[in-house]
């Protein structure tokens, strides 16, 4: 019988694999394009309902509250309608340049404030 040396080892296997680990330091420089910040422009159209009206035009705009009229939806990013200060769902109104049409079954009562908000978002 052969005496085993404690400093040597023997392995019996069909395949032996080994691996090493290396680390490599890479550095890169790149430049980012200048940051473009979105800007907004907000305009309003104000009118008062007469109790029977479903269609509002630029002629119905309250004097002293701007003169932009009803803008085309194609020229703005968002349009919001407020009736008596309450935001209305887009399904109950239609906006074309110079015309606001209420599609709901009821009409706002007399002297109710109609506010149409136009939001335009653009890059400066």
* pLDDT cut 90: percent of the chain above it: 65
Question: What is the DSSP code string of 75-87?
Answer: GSSEEEEEETTEE
Tell me what pLDDT residue 3 has: 60
The dihedral of CA 67, 72, 75, 78: what is its sign? Answer: positive
The parts of the chain modelled with pLDDT lower than 50 are: none
Tell me what pLDDT residue 22 has: 83
Tell me what pLDDT residue 21 has: 81
Tell me what pLDDT residue 118 has: 97
Tell me what pLDDT residue 18 has: 75
């Amino acid at each position: 019988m052969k005496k085993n040396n404690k400093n040597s080892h023997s392995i019996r296997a069909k395949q032996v694999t080994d691996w090493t680990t290396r680390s490599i330091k890479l550095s890169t420089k790149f430049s980012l394009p200048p940051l473009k910040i979105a800007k907004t422009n907000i305009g309003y159209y104000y009118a008062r309902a007469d109790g029977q009206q479903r269609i509002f035009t630029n002629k119905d705009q309250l004097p002293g509250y701007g003169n932009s009229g009803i803008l085309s939806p194609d020229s703005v990013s968002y349009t919001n309608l407020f009736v008596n200060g309450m935001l209305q769902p887009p399904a109950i109104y239609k906006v074309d340049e110079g015309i606001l049409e209420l599609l709901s079954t009821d009409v706002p009562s007399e002297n109710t404030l109609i506010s149409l908000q136009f939001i335009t978002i653009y890059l400066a």
